[in-house]
Each structure stands twice: as structure tokens, then as C-alpha cells.
Amino acid sequence: MSHALKTALDAVLANAVNSAGGAPGVVAIVTDRTDNLYEAAYGLRALGSAQPMTLDSVMLMASCTKAITGVAVMQLVEEGALSLDDEARRYLPEIAQCQVLTGFDAAGEPQLRPPTRQITLRHLMLHTAGFGYEFFSADEQRYRAVAGLPSSLACNFAAINSVLLHDPGERWTYGPSIDWLGLIVEKLRGKQLGAVLQERVFDPLAIHDMAFELTPAMRARLATIHQRAPDGQLTPVPALGLPQPPTMHMGGAGLYGSTGEYLKFIRMLLNDGAGPQGQVLRPKTVAAMCQNGLGTLHSGAWQTASPPLANSGDFFPGLKKSWAYTFQVNDEETPTGRPAGALSWAGLANTYYWIDRRNGVGGMWCSQILPFLDIASYPGYVDFETTVYRFSRKAGV
């Protein structure tokens, strides 16, 4: 890495933290296929504390968990233990009881009907099953209130056993589908998802600092989630986070870990499934995971139904985007310089990553702020990625 690139990236992080209303703290790392090219931590783990943000600070990864659970599913596909075209009810009969929400009657009672087709594992992997998060759907939020269901982040089965917002395969709707897949992995492996991931993903990648349940050592390095008020003010809220210990290992949202550990996972995908201590996936499986699986459908914008948790938005509005197993695919080059066909996604507390297999580079930007798509952290991430590609092009990469 050139001194000029390091200086430029340092300035991006410093600006994101030190500007008025900036993020309390940020960890950002860039990797190639071999090792980290850049890593830095700026700011504090919590406003008002003396603890600096460090490279080993532990973050709520939230939806960054999804891709890791997707790998565990694809390992079962490789072994012939399941097919993505299998109906999900074959493994979890309870999912067949989920009905489509068509509206509410005059008394406010939900109107439900059976789906026109059964949910398959492919629907779950692609977020086309019909499940949606209540913070992105007012109808889902209203249904949960009437039915007395907990938040989809409650880390228990009731949190995901909700209605469908449309028939399976009809469109892309972001929600807790991967949590259902995590339960299928548990059923076929005969152990909790965390133990499966440790054995079959984390150990081959030498990942030791990522788990559904915080260890004392992880808790000591935990970055506090901050709440941004409508006026822009940030308040540290140590109580924000997932239940500990969790009743259920949420395959779509439940992991905590340090940023550098996630970069090991990104490097595995850059290296066609190879890790420092063993092969995690076959190269052809990795290639299949990274292809658009939506056909003529697209992934895209979301509208908030809970402003304290998420802002409305879209990644690169107007840009064509699809979905793979289980990442977003930008079907066109992004304004940051990321090429068409690259992968990316994010977590609710403003963690963002991208994976560019064509150029052998990936990166991650981690802060801990609600709501999602924070006004300071997300632009910082975009500047971070843009700077990486600008200097790569100058170097002829």
C-alpha cells in the first residue's frame, strides 16, 4: 500500500469521526487475496468514555451474519444433504403454516390466505420467500402488534414465525429468511448454529473472535451502539443490542465479532473458498454463490417503518442491483468504482462491506449507530471505498 493511499484513507476516517455530528468511532480495513492492505481505528467505543476504538473492538455484525450462514447452507449442498430446490417444510414443517397477509379488515384484524406455492430453500436464500422485517414494512409491523409477536431481533423462534408479505417467488423482500435457513442447518448438523459455524467456517479461517454469545473477553471490547436523534445528536445506549445469551442463534442477524475477523471471511471468498487452515467451499460453489439468482427480479430501495432503527434509502439509487447467495450484486459499475458483478451488504448498526472478486479486493467499514444508513457513517463508507478504487486506478490495478 502506498503512503499516499494510507494518508488519504486516514483522512476519510478522521473526517467521519471528527466532523460535527460524526460517528463516535470507526474501524475500517481493506484486504487483497493475501492480507490486509490497510487497517485503522478512529474515535471512541462510546461517546463520553475514555476507551478508544481499536482494531479488535467487537461489533454487532447484524445482517453481515447472513453471508456466513449462506456458506453453511452451501456446504450442505456440496455434500448432497439438501438441494436449494427442496421445499423448506421438508426440514421445518412449521414454515408451511405461514400465510400471506392480504390486508386488514375494518376492525383491524389481519386478512390471511395460504400461499400459492411452497417456500423453497432457494426462496429463503434469495429473500423471495415473502418474509419481511417489520422496520421495513408497516404492514408487517401492524401484524406483529395485533398478533403479539416480538421484534424480529428478539433471538427466538416467535420472532421469525410471522406472515408472508407476498407469495414465494413473487418479488425480493428483505427479511428474516436466513434465520429459517440457520434452523435448517442446525437440524441437519444436530448442533447449534454457532457450533456449526465454528467448526466448519471459523476454524478453517482462523476466526476466533466471532460468536452469537459474547464471551467475557469480547464483552470487554464491545463497542456501544449509539442512537442518533432526529436533531442529529448521538447518545450511547449500552442496552441496545441482541439478547445475551440468545435463545436462538439467528442465522440472519445474530453474530458479534471484530472487523478483522470478518475480513478473513471476505478473503476466503476472494480465494475461491480457500482458508489458511483448509478449504471452506469448492471454487465452483463460491462462483455459484456470487451469481445473480433473481433472474428478472431486482433488489433495491427500502422504506422505513421504524425511523429509530433505519432510514429509508437505497445503495446507489438508480443502479441496477440483483441478489446472490446471500449478498447484493451491483449489476453495473458503482460510482465508487466497484465493478459490475461485485458483492456487498451491510448490518443494521452501520457496518458495511464489499467483495470484488474480479480485482481481488474487499473491504469493511464498521461503526455502531442506529438508525441504519447513518448520515455520517454511511457517507464515510462510500468515501472509503471510493478512495480505494481511485488510488487503485492510479496504480493501474
Residues in contact with 183: Cβ distance below 8 Å, sequence separation at least 6, in sequence order:
92, 157, 193, 248, 251
**Catalytic residue list contains 174:** yes
Rounded Cα distance between 151 and 145, Å, is 10
361-366 and 210-211 strand pairing: unpaired
Amino acid at 18: N
Annotated catalytic residue within 143, 174, 262, 378: 174
Is residue 66 among the annotated active site residues? yes
| C-alpha cell at position 270 | 476472494
Containing 306, the helix (H) or strand (E) segment is none
* Active-site hit among 66, 299, 325, 353: 66
Q: Give the burial class of 39: count Cβ atoms within 10 A of its Cβ; 0-12 exposed, 13-18 middle, 19 or more buried.
A: middle
Dihedral sign, Cα of residue 149, residue 153, residue 156, residue 162? positive
Residues 29 and 36: beta-carbon distance below 8 Å: yes
**Number of residues that make up the chain:** 397
For 162, the grid coordinates are 410471522
Assigned C-alpha cell, 194: 454457532
Of the residues 42, 57, 63, 258, only one is catalytic, namely 63
Q: Can you read off the three cell numbers belonging to residue 316?
A: 446507489
Its sign, for the CA torsion 152, 293, 364, 203, is: positive
Amino acid residing at 120: T
Show the CA angle centred on residue 26, arms to residues 23 and 29, nearest 5°: 150
Beta-sheet pairing, 369-370 with 226-228: parallel
- Under DSSP, the state recorded for 198 is I
Residues marked active site are found at: 63, 66, 174
